[in-house]
Copies of this chain bind each other. A is one copy, B any other.
């Protein structure tokens, strides 16, 4: 029986995800490097802000950090309890998941890579998609805790499989970011009304999440709200092309996209939302997508 859970990393996503745990569990530890956030979370949601050493003694420990290296460093700095499960919701590196899963197994701790999709709104409403790699038994044991914030929860394969699916998902989104920017600057150069064109495309075979939500909600209205930073998308596309390389496959469109997103990220202003990748194309073409 799960007696206690912990959540480590209370960023924009983690803060909201951890808020659902007390509905299901009596003992919910939270920890954050900037500890004020943990205390704020405890005050707001009835969780317990505790020292890292105590947090990692929970039966299930969630983590949600910027990159896999952060998770590796954190795990290397603590001693875990035999029989516990570490559920890492970072958008991380599959190779890292394999290493951690193998290493923690030595301590009789299961490691699940469990990245999420659905943005802050999905975290808030507890309707995230969670794609999970790792041991099937640990997956079943951790499921009730994951269900507090997840809606569609899938066990997609061995350690690293969750991270792989997340990386490919974000890559596919990035491909559409680039392709839509290219297509819509072209249409505008030819005098086409972009709003009418978008309506047509969203009723047709060219539609994607980018045409359905990113373009109308972030670009055409020129808002580019920062909810997912462009450098993090660049990182994710990098993870995807590394998977291609490791498998010795050929993925020209993904690779090109990774390079373009990297270029866009390198040139973007600080704190740019991922949607501002399109601004690189606007600078190239001197055409505004609006």
User: Which residues of A line the B interface, CB within 8 A?
Assistant: 94, 117-119, 129, 131, 133, 151-152, 154-158, 160-161, 164-165, 168-173, 175-176, 178-180, 182-187, 189-193, 196-197, 199-201, 203-211, 234, 238, 240-260, 262-263, 266-267, 281, 283-287
Contacts and interface: CB of A to CB of B under 8 A. Distances in A.
B250 A253 contact: no
B251 A168 contact: no
Contact of A266 (B119, B170, B238, B286): B286
Contacts of A210: 208
Copies of this chain present: 4
Q: Which of A94, A157, A206, A242 has the most CB of B within 10 A?
A: A206
Nearest to A175: B179
A75 to B, nearest CB: 22
Contacts of A285: 247, 249-250, 266
Contacts of A175: 175-176, 179, 253
A191 B252 CA distance: 21
Could you tell me the dominant secondary structure of chain A's interface residues?
A: helix
A245 B164 CA distance: 18
A200 B164 CA distance: 12
A285 B248 CA distance: 9
22 contacts: A118-B204, A119-B205, A129-B204, A158-B191, A168-B187, A172-B183, A173-B205, A173-B206, A175-B175, A175-B253, A178-B253, A182-B244, A182-B254, A185-B251, A186-B243, A186-B254, A207-B208, A208-B209, A242-B245, A244-B259, A249-B266, A253-B253
